Structure 1
């Protein structure tokens, strides 16, 4: 069994204790890590698609058991070849994202979308998004998980 996770290394180590898990491919730390817990290998890549990880699982044709693992870190550079099949899928979603990238309003104040702020306290951008959700749905209350705010910047004040 292959476990795809977004947990801390400590939590992935707990997952590795499950007898059916053969390999864990995780994220969360945004740091290149390779470890093993009780014989279960744990692989984690960096963030922002700076590298790709390739893992080849060599499975026995007779027993179906995992025999070995080959792991390779592939840097993403301007020389990385485009995959035609992926590019076609990407273009489809790129068009949809452009539709969502339209300006829908302007703020008279700076909006705080910094990750450190939104993950630890109430911010004006979090309040704005929650209020937009509340109004759009007609709900009495709306909640916004600050970890979902991914701009990680303080917008400049509109003039």
Structure 2
């Protein structure tokens, strides 16, 4: 069984590399730090043998926690990240009101091609990654990206015309 001193030594030896990996995956210092610390806290609480706690095991644990975090992001955050990707003035607390959201859905139904609507549904409603959307639709990941970019450009243009964004 691994004791607290063993885990502290692992922490000191591998924290920097684990943290860099988490930041690279998440692009967020705070979440990266939290995930690395959570992995070590879970090690303190677990009854794993010392032979299991190797560098590859720790890096895999960090990678998996980061991927779980990315997967668990709420749809609101995914839409905000994509929709406001190049809007420097976007404030996460200034989310569009219900009327604007209804207008966006209306634009999606009336202005966006059926294939692009399907891409948007799979990507944002179902939360599928680009590769999975491409596989489901039988198109390339580049085509998925182009459909999304084109649809979002149309939505932005229409909202800007009406002074909603």
TM > 0.5 fold call: no
Query: Which protein has the bigger helix share?
Result: 2
> Which TM-score tier does this pair reach, normalised by the shorter chain?
under 0.3
Asked which structure has the greater RCO (Cα within 8 Å, sep 6+), the reply is 2
User: When the two structures are superposed, what TM-score results if normalisation uses the length of structure 1?
Assistant: 0.25
User: When the two structures are superposed, what TM-score results if normalisation uses the length of structure 2?
Assistant: 0.25
Query: Which protein has the bigger strand share?
Result: 1
